[in-house]
Each structure stands twice: as C-alpha cells, then as structure tokens.
C-alpha cells in the first residue's frame, strides 16, 4: 500500500512568488491534515479536511495560505504571495478515521525556502 | 489546552547503551500520546501510541514508553541503542478540539556514537 506522498520534495522561490504544494493521502483515507515546521520551532497543525470539507482550519497563519481538497482526494496548499517567514517543512498526514488515538500517517514533507 | 514538553533538545549515547528520551504532558483529561521519529530526509514515522489501555506501550524497533499519570510523563526508552536509531524524536499529544489535531513537542535529537 502506497503511503502519503508529497510534491515537490523541495521548493526554492523568491519572496512575493506563489508556490503550490500537493499531498496525496493514503487511498481510502477521508481525513487529511497539513502541518508545518518553521526553522527552530515545533511542528504545528495547520488544518484538517474530512473528505472535501475543512473540518478545522484554526492553525492557518493568515489569508496568504489557501488549502483545497477537490473531490476529497488529493489536497493542495497554496502560498500567495510567499514571505520569508513561510520557509520551513510542510507535512501532510492522513487517517482513515478521525478521533482520539487514531494514527495519522505522515508524508516525507516539502521543504520550502523563500529567499 | 494540550501541550507536551520534551526536556532535552539533544541526547547522546554510545551504541549498545540504554536510551531515555523524556516527555512531560499537560492535559485537562486523559490524553492520547504518541512518539514519532524522523530520520534524516525522511517523513515522520509512528513509533508507538498510548490510548488509555496498557500503561506500558511497546513500539517498533525495540522502543517502549510508559504512561505515568501521577508524573504526567511519557518517557521513551530502549535497552540498547543502535546506530540506526540516530534521528529526531517527537512526543505528541492529541489536541482537545475534536481530538484530531496533534500537538508536537519541540523534538529531541538522538545521537549515537560507535
């Protein structure tokens, strides 16, 4: 069974540009999560999809970030325009069910560097 | 709100010696706790999890952790370190908003010397 995949693995862009990150969850997983780790900080939750609906987007830092999950399959996270402080590693995770104690399976992350 | 504190940013051990990575949690109710590991240039991998069943939890690669409510701790241990254990380890608690949100500690980098 394929795990969570993320594309690209690395992205280097200039301040003010747009970047779109993609996440493909494990097949059959309705729940999809985005997290990020900025330099020197802990990994923080961004948002949670259940199928195509945003269940919780309390961690989204500002309106420069837009997440979508068309058709309840893969998800994209767009940053527009990118700022220096957006640099970090963006992780995607998925789970079959929501709820306490349910394992979230993580992808390898996308390393974003904004210059 | 849920939180976890990893008491050491770096831990250095010699191969074949025991490993202890410390984690304390804060929660207003009985939490679910996890340990994840990240090897260089790899994704986060679940080592083990506690979900209010047995307090001693066994995970992959010989790791285990003990949930101690009285001490609000969930320390990760391994009897004998291997070179391949060198990685960053994260203690994680389920958030209290519908439980889906994971709250991460700051991570402990384990260094293993020959």
How does pLDDT run across A32-75, given as a tens digit for each residue? 999 999 988 999 999 999 999 998 899 999 999 999 998 889 99
- Cβ-count burial B34-52 (b if 16+ within 10 Å, e if not): bbbbbeeeebbbbbbbbbe
Q: Is A56 in Cβ contact with B43 (below 8 Å)?
A: no
Cis peptide before A8 (omega within 30 of 0): yes
Q: Does B94 touch chain A (CB under 8 A)?
A: yes
* Closest CA–CA distance from residue B52 to any residue of chain A (Å): 9
How does pLDDT run across A21-35, given as a tens digit for each residue? 999 999 999 999 999
B102 contacts in A (CB within 8 Å)? 33, 35, 45, 104
Q: Is the pLDDT of residue A101 over 70?
A: no
Q: Does A103 touch chain B (CB under 8 A)?
A: yes
């Amino acid at each position: 069974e394929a795990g969570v995949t993320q594309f690209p693995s690395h992205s280097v862009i200039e301040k003010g540009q747009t970047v779109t990150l993609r996440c493909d969850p494990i097949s059959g997983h309705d729940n999809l999560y985005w997290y990020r780790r900025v330099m020197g900080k802990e990994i923080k939750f961004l948002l949670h999809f259940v199928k195509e609906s945003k269940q919780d987007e309390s961690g989204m830092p500002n309106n420069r970030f837009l997440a979508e999950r068309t058709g309840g399959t893969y998800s994209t996270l767009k940053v527009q325009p990118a700022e220096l402080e957006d640099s970090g590693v963006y992780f995607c995770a998925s789970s079959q069910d929501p709820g306490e104690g349910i394992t979230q399976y993580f992808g390898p992350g996308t390393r974003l560097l904004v210059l | 709100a849920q939180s976890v504190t990893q008491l050491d940013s770096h831990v250095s051990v010699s191969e074949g010696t025991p490993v202890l990575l410390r984690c304390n949690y804060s929660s207003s109710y009985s939490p679910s706790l996890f340990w994840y590991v990240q090897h260089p240039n790899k994704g986060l991998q679940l080592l083990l999890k506690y979900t209010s069943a047995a307090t001693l939890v066994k995970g992959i690669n010989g790791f285990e952790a003990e949930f101690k409510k009285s001490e609000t701790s969930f320390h990760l241990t391994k009897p004998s370190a291997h070179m391949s254990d060198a990685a960053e380890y994260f203690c994680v608690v389920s958030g209290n908003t519908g439980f889906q949100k994971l709250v991460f500690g700051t991570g402990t980098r384990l260094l293993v010397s020959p």
